[in-house]
């Protein structure tokens, strides 16, 4: 905490120095959304380069003055929370003054800028993410407040903890972990008793694009148990994008890649080639939208696709067919095809990329 307080004090001292010299104070933050500031490393994923381009947030410029003020406002809130050892979610910060902040995305963006500027992980700033992810299967752990969580002996799902760093005493006999894109598929696999029937495993879903805590938990489980991790996504550009976030990270959070990415994640399904192999009826597939087309083209240009020749082929199959499919398309073959046939066969015979 002293490191956080010192980092904030240094920023404020720079502001005061500028004012004392009759200069307009300026804050310098990294260009987090610029691909030129990102390098790809097999072992880490997408990470920010040490000497990245920056942008200045000036207090004397009408376009950036408000953002300058909001950064100082949130810095003062963080300073008080660290001093008093209290925590708040990003939503708490937004609702403390909705008129001032304007929208939740403004708050989210500023918090990421502050974390990057101070070079301090967000959880050390005493800001918690609102968790939307679920976990189930062969896993038990103790939360920071002493609550014992036993996923293993329960048919219910558990919300991913809001402070993943604080969990301890992790125990699991799982042979693998399965990341599921959507809540509906996750629930269906639970209903089919997949975690127990298909040798012990852990299942996690971020319910779409994963929040920070879900990504942190996947990484923590990987660090702790070193078991294979498979991803089960829709066969569409959006599903592939989500899998890439778990595996290689995102551009906007590249400054925290070392804590968030798991490059060893395997693509289990639903593969575009599976749709041909299983003779899924054409009328069960969905035609591409312009947005799908753009998303796929963007993914195909990314640096990590070059080191994944098998992925490249799958993306080419999708691009050629201009068709996508949700995991639920497998119910066209039988209602429990996913849990009784598709996943067991894939896991047994190595049908992943």
Residues involved in catalysis? 95
Which tokens sit at 120?
Answer: 């301090």
* Rounded CA separation 71/83 (Å): 18
Residue ranges of E strands in 105-206: 127-128, 134-137, 140-142, 148-150, 158-159, 168-171, 176-180, 201-205
* Rounded CA separation 278/281 (Å): 9
CA torsion angle 41 45 46 49 (round to 10): -40
Torsion angles phi and psi, residue 148, rounded to 5: -95, 130
* Rounded CA separation 163/39 (Å): 29
| Residues with Cβ within 8 Å of residue 10, at least 6 apart in sequence | none
Tokens 């691909």 correspond to 35
Which tokens sit at 332?
Answer: 């066209």
For 139, counting Cβ atoms within 10 Å of its Cβ (0-12 exposed, 13-18 middle, 19+ buried), the class is: buried
Interior/surface letters 340-353, b for 16+ CB within 10 angstroms, e for the rest:
eebbeebbeeebbe
Tokens 């072992």 correspond to 43
| Residues with Cβ within 8 Å of residue 143, at least 6 apart in sequence | 149, 161, 163, 166, 167
Which tokens sit at 27?
Answer: 């804050």
- Cα 217 → chain centroid: 10
């Amino acid at each position: 905490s002293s490191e956080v307080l010192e980092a904030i004090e240094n920023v404020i001292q720079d502001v005061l120095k500028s004012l004392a010299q009759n200069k307009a104070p300026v804050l310098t933050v990294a260009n987090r959304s610029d691909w030129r500031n990102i390098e790809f490393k097999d072992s880490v994923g997408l990470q920010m380069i040490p000497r990245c381009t920056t942008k200045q947030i000036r207090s004397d410029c009408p376009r950036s003055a408000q953002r300058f003020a909001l950064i100082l406002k949130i810095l003062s809130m963080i300073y008080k929370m660290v001093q008093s050892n209290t925590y708040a979610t990003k939503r708490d910060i937004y609702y403390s003054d909705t008129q001032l902040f304007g929208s939740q995305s403004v708050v989210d963006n500023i918090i990421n800028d502050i974390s990057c500027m101070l070079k301090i992980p967000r959880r050390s700033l005493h800001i918690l993410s609102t968790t939307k992810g679920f976990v189930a299967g062969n896993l038990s752990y103790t939360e920071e407040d002493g609550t014992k969580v036993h996923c293993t002996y329960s048919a219910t799902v558990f919300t991913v903890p809001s402070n993943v760093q604080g969990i301890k005493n992790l125990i699991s006999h799982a042979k693998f972990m399965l990341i599921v894109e959507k809540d509906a598929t996750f629930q269906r696999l639970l209903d089919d008793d997949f975690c127990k029937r298909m040798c012990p495993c852990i299942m996690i879903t971020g319910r779409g694009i994963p929040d920070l805590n879900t990504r942190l938990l996947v990484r923590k489980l990987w660090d702790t148990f070193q078991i294979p991790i498979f991803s089960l996504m829709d066969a569409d550009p959006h599903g592939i994008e989500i899998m890439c976030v778990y595996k290689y990270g995102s551009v906007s959070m590249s400054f925290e890649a070392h804590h968030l990415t798991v490059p060893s994640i395997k693509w289990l399904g639903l593969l575009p080639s599976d749709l041909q192999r299983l003779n899924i009826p054409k009328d069960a597939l969905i035609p591409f939208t312009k947005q799908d087309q753009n998303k796929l083209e963007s993914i195909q240009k990314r640096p990590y696709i070059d080191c994944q020749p098998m992925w490249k082929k799958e993306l080419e199959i999708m691009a050629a067919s201009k068709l996508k499919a949700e995991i639920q398309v497998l119910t066209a073959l039988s209602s429990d095809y996913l849990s009784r046939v598709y996943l067991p066969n894939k896991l047994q015979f190595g049908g992943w990329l």
